[in-house]
Amino acid sequence: MKIAVIIPTQKEHNYYLNSCLEQGLAAEDAAIGRLPVVRYPELDVTVCRGGLGKVEFAVSTRHLIDAGPGWELVMCAGAAGRLDGSLSVGDIVAATETIEHDIRNKFGKPRLPRYAGDEKALQALRGLDASLDGFRLHFGAIASGDEDVVEEARQEELRVRTGALAVAWEGAGGARACQFSQTPFIELRGISDGANPDAPSDFEKNLPLVMHNMAALIRAFAVR
């Protein structure tokens, strides 16, 4: 199937590509519309950097959909902070839903837009769980908002408010763009930190492992 993997930041993107190189995957540099991409023909996977934050990520996602070959699935793939203490660094969360947590409206009821992950993709990922080596795959909500969560009180607030397993930035932007374009979407996030005061240093330290595991998971998904 034609899969677009959209990775938020340049660091995440670089570590993902390096991991694919270590796996021996043949890569082709190309462009789709105005976006540079890397294609992996044997997987039918195309990788693109989406940018930091929900807005930039949504614009990149929509452009990739409009200019692309007709994607059967779009994946947002990157790092996340842990909200559930049972998750370990390097584990990956497949979002059953992406919840936009940072709309701070004061006129009316609080808003928490929710975007369901593609059910076919989730079913396929559930079938891979037993075959993964070195990390666990979890299924649950991911909270999405343009905010670095580095305080334990805020971490707990988000966990209680959303019920999410992890928190990251861009997923809701990609989910909304795909919803508008009627394109299947799923968010995948690897745990890089505990969304606490150590998060900035833990993120830098653990990002290579996170994106290595992400590349392994997406390869397993593509060749299943």
CB count in 10 Å sphere of residue 204:
12
What's the pLDDT tens digit per position in 161-197? 999 999 999 999 999 999 999 999 999 999 999 999 9
Q: Is it the case that residue 55 has pLDDT exceeding 90?
A: yes
Quick one: residue 163, left, alpha or beta (phi over 0 = left, psi -120 to 50 = alpha)?
left
The model's pTM is 0.96
Contact (Cβ atoms closer than 8 angstroms) between residue 74 and residue 120: no
Q: Tell me how far CA of residue 161 lies from CA of 55, 139, 186, in angstroms.
A: 23, 18, 21
Provide the pLDDT for residue 130: 67
Domain spans, the chain = 3-223
CATH number, domain 3-223, options 3.40.50.300, 3.40.50.1580, 1.10.760.10, 1.10.443.10: 3.40.50.1580
Angle value at C-alpha 55, between 70 and 39, nearest 5 degrees = 35
Q: How far apart are alpha carbons 65 and 181 in whole angstroms? A: 8
Q: How far apart are alpha carbons 195 and 11 in whole angstroms? A: 19
Strand locations in 50-171, DSSP E?
Answer: 73-82, 92-100, 114-116, 137-144, 166-168
